Structure 1
């Protein structure tokens, strides 16, 4: 029997504004918390709740981890291979 592979993760990328927010995170605890949230979203991009929108732009989702106190706003590409993080709150 062939070994089973874990599900393929989506690649994480950041919008320009999220990249600037990322540069301002200096606490090791905040970086660790953000890293954990990014792994969750990359493994299951549907984990976040959809945000209401007009349908003209990307379909934004919000993932909130109350334990780690992290909030991400993101959208997923059509092929579900890339998650674009638009906003970070740690």
Structure 2
């Protein structure tokens, strides 16, 4: 019997506004953000759809992280537009 494979993760890319915000985060904030990015890369549907856009808004209340992103049609790339940590 062939082993089961884990779900394929999408590749995460950050655009300029998110990259600028990333440089301002502390090590602790970056660590919290990393966990949230892994979560949306595994399941891009986690976030809530923003009406009338392709954007999704994911908030992790426990870690205090918010990510606004969109996913390509085949769910192979997740593009992060905005982060808060």
Q: What TM bracket, shorter-length normalisation? A: over 0.9
* 1:46 maps to 2:45: yes
Mapped partners of 2:37, 2:17: distance in 1: 16
TM-score by length of 1: 0.91
* 1:60 maps to 2:59: no
Unmatched segments (≥5 aa) in structure 1: none
> Which aligned segments of 4 or more residues in structure 1 are displaced greater than 6 angstroms?
none
Q: CA deviation at 1:79?
A: 1.3
Deviations 1:6-55 (A, max 9, x none): 01000000111111111111x221011000000000000001000112x5
Deviations 1:44-68 (A, max 9, x none): 0001000112x5xxx0000000000
How many residues align? The count is: 85
Unmatched segments (≥5 aa) in structure 2: none
Q: CA RMSD in A?
A: 0.8
